[in-house]
Structure 1
């Protein structure tokens, strides 16, 4: 028997060294191969306690050393909590929940979290930032608004135009205007 035959998957397959927020091509493999360590299990349990007991505050801080998997965890959670469909019709949550089958409490907490409607917006801030906006005091906010407006179908570059489009949308005349 060869060592490579001990593994479930081909060991000579390409493996991305860096997780990219906007890379959907490898998403199925990223979720399927995600390993829930004891540390992640513990932190995920804490996170879900807060997530499932929403008290008007949203957001979470993920910290860790360079290369520790922060972006990977964020990407996995965003797709799982949104329950995005992979490969056309396979729910991301279904793949992830299989990893939790031995921890009924964590699995139950995750199922509850998945039932909460959510939408994730993942992007690389450096790719979305304009050269000008990097020098502004509110550069980060500007990038977030740009991406958010773009997601909603509004002008991403001119905030007051996006606001105008939003107002028209609320009045029910934006589609006609477009």
Structure 2
């Protein structure tokens, strides 16, 4: 029989992201953040390619990105409310980690599996931050899918994309529980 880790299972059964707009300082210091990044990097990675990397964004960088969001949103003809919401995602944050999907050439590991690995890193970092007692949230948004924003704002290469921004800080209020999926409705059992 396998040995249960009830504490870990309880954490996973009760984990809840904290809305980024409710996060404030203090934020993790460099050593604490390195521990969280190390935990996140222990994600499934077929072929050991490490097809992802991290960009730690502190307050001045986030403010710079909020200005770029305004420029890009205007250039793209985005609705004013969409632009404002995206600006707030960066301007009101104290710390965020951009998880960058950086696929590597491989004859064995398809690019889609490498993208999935980058998504797994996002969830692992989110869960590591929550398990360490921080508030955290995984966000993306229209700006994160804009190649010019990615290149100008974060220096991404043409083959790289933003898998997500993991906002980490001190939570100011615990969010209420939300409805969860009906497991029976989304599960198919195949016996043969």
Structure with the bigger percentage of strand: 2
Q: Which has the larger radius of gyration?
A: 1
Regarding TM over 0.5, the answer is no
Q: TM-score, normalised by structure 1?
A: 0.29
